[in-house]
């Protein structure tokens, strides 16, 4: 049996996500931006929380943990080894290559330093699911706060190498704003232009633009396209090192 994923809005632009294993009844929350929507989603689904998989320590990803733990005291908090000391109520830490289990489901841990130095993502290989936190967004990526730009670029390369049919879930609904910026980098990207119509329609209905797929992101996300000749030409950086092209795109986005 395959994983069941339930995504719902939290705070102003975060996502809460539950991953449920029908075989065992186990259910994980990916981060806990705030407790109330997560508890409501669990009640609506009739699921018992068994695990909390933390991507990084920022408050908008962990602040709901204590309240959720009061309702589900047995839920195990799994946190990145690199910053677990700043995550509440941690039961176990994980690092690159470790496997986090949710019942019979298996998530490989991939370290993606950049947004924070200890940031990790969870890749459910068999279920083709990637929970990328604030490392990779649809048509965007996280602010690079705690590592050199080249380190963040290497983190993104790890995710870009995963299978294209992987469903990508992210920490935030930033897609429309990201798309407007992406058009300044690739005004002639036909796939991007067509996709923007879709996400505008989704947002007009109040629906989420996520999940997306890694395959689509490789075609439209400028932060994954630093090696593309058209992107390099637009930036006047033909033949430059991809890490430098990435850094230029990220700096332009910071000023956008």
Tell whether residue 60 is a contact of Fe ion (CB under 5 A): yes
Residue 13 annotated among the catalytic residues of the structure: no
Within positions 64 to 103, which residues make up the interface with Fe ion, using CB under 5 A? Answer: none
Residue 195 annotated among the catalytic residues of the structure: no
Q: Which does 82 bind (CB under 5 to 8 A by kind): Fe ion, Zn ion, none?
A: none
Contacts 24+ apart (CB under 8 A), 31-34: 31/55, 31/61, 31/62, 31/133, 31/171, 32/61, 32/62, 32/63, 32/64, 32/65, 32/68, 33/60, 33/61, 33/63, 33/64, 34/10, 34/63, 34/64
Strand partners, 4: 20
Residue 134 annotated among the catalytic residues of the structure: yes
Residue 56 annotated among the catalytic residues of the structure: yes
Please give the structure tokens belonging to residue 1: 């049996």
Residue 119 annotated among the catalytic residues of the structure: no
Q: Which is nearer to Zn ion, 14 or 209 (CB)?
A: 14
CA distance 127 to 4: 9
- Please tell me which residue in 21, 31, 127, 134 is annotated as part of the active site: 134
Within positions 119 to 158, which residues make up the interface with Fe ion, using CB under 5 A? Answer: 134
CA distance 172 to 14: 4
β-bridge pairing 136-137 and 129-131: unpaired
- Please tell me which residue in 20, 51, 115, 228 is annotated as part of the active site: 115
- Please tell me which residue in 20, 58, 119, 195 is annotated as part of the active site: 58
Residue 115 annotated among the catalytic residues of the structure: yes
Q: Binders of Fe ion: how many residues, by CB under 5 A?
A: 3
CA distance 55 to 120: 5
Q: Which is nearer to Fe ion, 204 or 254 (CB)?
A: 254
Tell whether residue 171 is a contact of Fe ion (CB under 5 A): yes
Closest distance of CB 181 from Zn ion, Å: 18
Within positions 94 to 153, which residues make up the interface with Zn ion, using CB under 5 A? Answer: 134
Q: Which is nearer to Zn ion, 140 or 242 (CB)?
A: 140
Q: Is the peptide bond before 2 cis (omega within 30 degrees of 0)?
A: no
**How far is the CA of 204 from the CAs of 78, 137, 209, in angstroms?**
36, 20, 11
* Binding window for Zn ion (CB under 5 A); candidates: 23-31, 51-59, 82-90, 239-247: 51-59
SS3 51: strand
Closest distance of CB 58 from Zn ion, Å: 4
- Please tell me which residue in 21, 51, 60, 228 is annotated as part of the active site: 60
* Binding window for Fe ion (CB under 5 A); candidates: 44-52, 155-163, 164-172, 177-185: 164-172
Q: Which of 108, 145, 143, 150 is nearest to 129 (CA)?
A: 108
Please give the structure tokens belonging to residue 25: 């009844």
- Please tell me which residue in 21, 31, 61, 127 is annotated as part of the active site: 61
Give catalytic residues, as residue numbers.
Answer: 56, 58, 60-61, 115, 134, 172
Q: Which residues bind Fe ion (CB under 5 A)?
A: 60, 134, 171
Q: Interface with Zn ion by CB under 5 A: which residues?
A: 58, 134
């Amino acid at each position: 049996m395959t994983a069941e994923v339930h995504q719902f809005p939290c705070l102003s632009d975060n996502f809460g996500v539950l991953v449920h294993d029908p075989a065992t009844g186990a259910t994980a929350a990916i981060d806990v931006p705030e407790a109330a929507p997560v508890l409501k989603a669990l009640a609506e689904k009739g699921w018992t929380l068994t695990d909390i998989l933390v991507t990084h320590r920022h408050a908008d990803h962990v602040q709901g943990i204590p309240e959720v733990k009061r309702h589900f005291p047995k839920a195990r908090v799994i946190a990145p080894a690199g910053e677990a000391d700043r995550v509440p109520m941690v039961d176990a830490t994980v690092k690159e290559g470790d496997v986090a289990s949710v019942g019979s489901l298996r998530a490989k841990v991939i370290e993606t330093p950049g947004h924070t130095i200890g940031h990790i993502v969870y890749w459910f290989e068999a279920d083709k699911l990637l929970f990328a936190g604030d490392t990779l967004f649809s048509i965007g990526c996280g602010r690079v706060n705690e590592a050199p730009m080249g380190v963040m670029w290497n983190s993104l390369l790890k995710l870009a190498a995963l299978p294209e049919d992987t469903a990508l879930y992210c920490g935030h609904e930033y897609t429309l704003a990201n798309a407007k910026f992406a058009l300044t980098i690739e005004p002639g990207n036909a796939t991007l232009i067509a996709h923007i119509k879709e996400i505008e329609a989704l947002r007009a209905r109040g629906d989420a633009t996520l999940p997306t797929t890694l395959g689509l992101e490789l075609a439209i996300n400028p932060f994954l396209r630093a090696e593309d000749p058209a992107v390099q030409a637009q930036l006047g950086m033909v033949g430059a090192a991809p890490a430098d092209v990435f850094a230029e795109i990220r700096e332009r986005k910071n000023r956008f």
